[in-house]
Amino acid sequence: MTVSEIIALLPYQKPFLFVDGIEAISDEGITGHYTFNKDETFYKGHFKDNPITPGVILTECMAQIGLVCLGIYLLKDELNSEHQPQIALTAHQMDFYLPVFPEEKVTVISEKEVFRFNKLKCKVQLLNEKGELVARGIISGMMKA
């Protein structure tokens, strides 16, 4: 399965798609990236005159790349145009260390901890362009073809 096929199977679209590309993917993990455009709607109110990417959006970016893209890849043998993936986030625990500003590119690195009985659990980390740790945590969800 190609990167463009994985991204095409995502159940998101702009303005709620937070995946620009995938650099590496295997049965054990994924690395991908996204650049937050200065025109994202949430910057208008978070925060007044000092736009910062909300933590919930950073978590969503980590989930889309680190859980959903990886899950689609892991289910590749079961997916086709008639069987789109069904995904439900079931739990997350995140720690945040640095802010992400408009026009900043972030990289998500996700390592699969377990994938059984359609439940995927991953350790994720979010790095900024300098390679600094922005956030890290655990994300899990249910995946079904």
Per-residue b or e along 73-104, where b marks 16 or more CB atoms closer than 10 Å to that residue's CB: bbbeeebeeeeebebeeeebebeeeeebeeeb
Angstrom distance (rounded) from CA 129 to CA 122: 22
The answer to whether residue 46 is catalytic is: yes
Which residues does residue 86 pair with via DSSP β-bridges, in sequence order? 144
Catalytic: which of 33, 46, 83, 92? 46
Picking from 29, 86, 15, the residue whose alpha carbon sits closest to that of residue 57 is 15
Q: Sign of the C-alpha dihedral, residues 127, 131, 133, 139?
A: positive
Burial of 110 (0-12, 13-18, 19+ CB in 10 A): buried
| Residue 75: alpha-carbon gap to chain centroid | 17
Give catalytic residue positions.
Answer: 46
